[in-house]
Amino acid sequence: MGNNQDSSIIYLRGLHKCYWVGTMPFPALHGLDLDIAPGEFAVVAGRSGSGKSTLLNIVGALESADSGRVEVLGQDILGMNSEQRTRFRLHNIGFVFQAYNLIRVFTARENVAYVCQLQGKSRKESMEIANHWLHEVEIGHLGYRRPDQLSGGQQQRVAVARALASNPKLILADEPTANLDSMTGRHLIRLMHELNHRFGTTFLISSHDPDVKQAAGRLIKLADGQIVESWEEVPEPPQSLSASCPANHLPLGERVRNYIKTRKQSRARKRRGGNQRRS
């Protein structure tokens, strides 16, 4: 257990990482220090090769570092074995990747539900949670389609729904808009921003995209594996995508229960309507 979970969701000190190809070193991070507070919408920018993905992968416990201190949610990531890392990722972190990384033979709903099933939830409950999040990202009507039957923007929304379905405190998104046209990318970033506001989920996003940088509550600029600039500003509130939602600030369990209740009521109404028509 680390010391910084009260103040920082991410706490990095003196982080070093060098890749080796044979005897050739490829330095990626040089003594990087960073603190991210809970609820931040932080964007890591920097040229290709500056170390953005390496940073996200280490924070996400996907890769190890050579030296330094890495605490995420107060947990010492570098001190974990691979089984502990897997469990930590599954219960605490949602990932959104540039290439969506959806399972091609699963429907959108199954892709989102899968992560809940890995967490030990039943298939039925997982499917209900998946429906809830697909609605939140405004593609609830497309849950039956497989990834190859969806546009890039829709696939990335499935990936965002999947990232949120595990109820993580932190979402790491590596170039989430890089494969999208600029309008679709802007919609996606506005959606992520709105989810950050509504649910308080912390986002750490790597991007070259000027629209993403503009949306940043905090912009962290990397060059040659070091932070060269980091500034904060209060961003413009995003245009609302889903008007007002009375359940905005309820905990996940309650939101899902409300969602299931509404679905049951609407099914019952439909059944009653059908019976009346038949009689």
Ligand X SMILES: Nc1ncnc2c1ncn2[C@@H]1O[C@H](COP(=O)(O)OP(=O)(O)OP(=O)(O)O)[C@@H](O)[C@H]1O
- Would you tell me which residues interact with ligand X (CB under 6 A)? 19, 21, 26, 28, 46, 48-54
Name which of ligand X, Mg ion, none residue 144 binds, using a CB cut-off of 5 to 8 Å depending on partner kind.
none
List the x/- string, 5-44, binding to Mg ion by CB under 5 A.
Answer: ----------------------------------------
Nearer to ligand X, 58 or 129 (CB): 58
DSSP label of 78: G
Q: How far is the CB of 21 from ligand X (least distance, A)?
A: 5
Contacts of residue 244, defined as CB under 8 A and 6 or more positions apart, other chains included, come to none
- Tell me: does residue 177 bind Mg ion (CB under 5 A): no
Size of the site for Mg ion (CB under 5 A): 2
Q: How far is the CB of 62 from ligand X (least distance, A)?
A: 12
Distance from chain centroid for Cα 258: 23
Position of tokens 């003594």?
31
Q: Would strands 170-174 and 93-97 be described as parallel, antiparallel, or unpaired?
A: parallel
* Cβ–Cβ < 8 Å for 50, 224: yes
CB of 224 to ligand X, least distance (A): 9
Cα–Cα nearest to 78, from 88, 87, 86, 68 = 68
Task: Give the whole-angstrom CA distance, residue 35 versus residue 158.
Answer: 29
Give whichever of 48 and 275 is closer to ligand X, judged by the CB atom. 48
> Which is nearer to Mg ion, 44 or 142 (by Cβ)?
44
d(CA 167, CA 75): 18
Of 44 and 164, nearer to Mg ion (C-beta) is 44
Closer residue to Mg ion, CB minimum distance, 201 or 207: 207
> For residues 49 and 152, which CB has a smaller minimum distance to Mg ion in the complex?
49
Judge contact between 132 and 257, C-beta under 8 A: no
> Residue 275 binds which entry of Mg ion, ligand X, none, with Cβ cut-offs from 5 to 8 Å by kind?
none
- In this structure, are residues 262 and 273 in contact, taking their beta carbons and an 8 Å threshold? no
Angle between helices 152-165 and 182-199 (to 10 degrees): 20
Beta strand ranges found along the chain (DSSP E): 10-21, 24-36, 41-45, 67-72, 75-76, 93-97, 170-174, 202-206, 218-223, 226-232
19 binds, among ligand X, Mg ion, none (CB under 5 to 8 A by kind): ligand X
What is the nearest approach in angstroms of ligand X to the Cβ of residue 139? 27
* The only residue of 9, 15, 44, 53 in contact with Mg ion, by rule CB under 5 A: 53
61 vs 134 by CB, closer to Mg ion: 61
46 binds, among ligand X, Mg ion, none (CB under 5 to 8 A by kind): ligand X
Query: Measured from the CB of residue 24, what is the shortest distance to ligand X in angstroms?
Result: 8
141 Cβ contact partners less than 8 Å away, ≥ 6 residues apart: none
Residues within the interface to Mg ion (CB under 5 A): 52-53
